[in-house]
Amino acid sequence: MLERIEKLQIVSLGILVGLALVVSTKMVASTIQKNEISVTGSAYEIVKSDKGTLNFDIEIKRNTRQEAYKTAQEQLKTVQQYLKDKKIEKVEIKTPHSYAIYKNDARGYSTNEVDHYNYTQPVSISADNVELIKEISTDISSLINNGIVINVETPSYDYSKLPELKVSLLEKASNDAKNRAESMLKPSHNKVGKISAVRMGVYQITPVDSTNVSDMGINDTSTIDKKVTAVANVTFKIK
């Protein structure tokens, strides 16, 4: 009984292999008939950001709106002097925000009596010296020793020559596709002909050690050093 089952399994396997060869042959024939080959190539380059931006808020709590505003102006002068000493020239003082915080009654419900006022003064700085921006992002909170509460956001780092780099990487990715096509056609003694179509993939701008990819592309601004990767799908004529 077991012997018959094994024979049936062998026969079934042979049929499947035969079908696979037929399908494979049809696929190859179809490719040769079109006289074209489509290959995906890629290229990347490691770059260092040349512009940094840092956003932060000066946060103040006072009993009246007037006190909050007056304190904000005084603290802003201290912050501006700090930035001047750090050689930061591009400073943008944004529109401030203030709102009242109301007291709660014994049951925990909000009342109409103001407890204090929150006043927030947003500030944005930028510089070509990205290392300086990184330093300030971790050091500026030390102004709390002057009684100044600062909420710091994550710095943003950008590479200004990205448009030119994208063009260069696309050319390299296309050349990589050609090299791959030549390797694939070498056993058949065919050669790569002219390009009949090119489709550019999305760019992936990631941290250097990252392997993440996205169909929509990635644009990392959290790291100073970045890896910019380009992908190109190229269709060549076969000679």
Strands of 105-191, DSSP E: 110-127, 149-152, 156-158
Same domain, 153 and 62: yes
Task: Give the count of beta carbons closer than 10 Å to the beta carbon of residue 145.
Answer: 7
Whole domain around residue 95: which residue ranges?
51-158
Same domain, 56 and 44: no
Instruction: Provide the token pair at 227.
Output: 């890896």
Question: Global pTM?
Answer: 0.77
Q: Which tens digits make up the pLDDT trace of 144-201?
A: 999 999 999 999 999 999 999 999 999 999 999 999 999 999 998 999 999 999 999 9
Domain boundary among the residues 97, 124, 158 is at: 158
Q: Is residue 153 part of a domain?
A: yes
Rg (alpha carbons) of the chain, rounded to whole number? 32
Q: What is the CATH number of the domain that holds 174?
A: 3.30.110.170
Domain boundary among the residues 124, 158, 192 is at: 158
Q: Which tens digits make up the pLDDT trace of 93-108?
A: 999 999 999 999 888 8
Q: Is residue 231 part of a domain?
A: yes
Same domain, 114 and 62: yes
- Length of the chain (residues): 239
Q: What was the pLDDT predicted at 80?
A: 97
Domain boundary among the residues 158, 191, 221 is at: 158
| Ramachandran area for residue 72 (φ above 0: left; ψ -120 to 50: alpha; else beta) | alpha
Q: What was the pLDDT predicted at 28?
A: 33
Q: What was the pLDDT predicted at 24?
A: 33
Q: Is residue 39 part of a domain?
A: yes
Number of domains in the chain: 2
DSSP string, 119-131: EEEEEEEEES-HH
Tokens 């909000």 sit on residue: 110
Burial status of residue 234 (CB atoms within 10 A of its CB: 0-12, 13-18, 19 or more): buried
Rounded to 5 degrees, φ, ψ at 227 are -110, 120
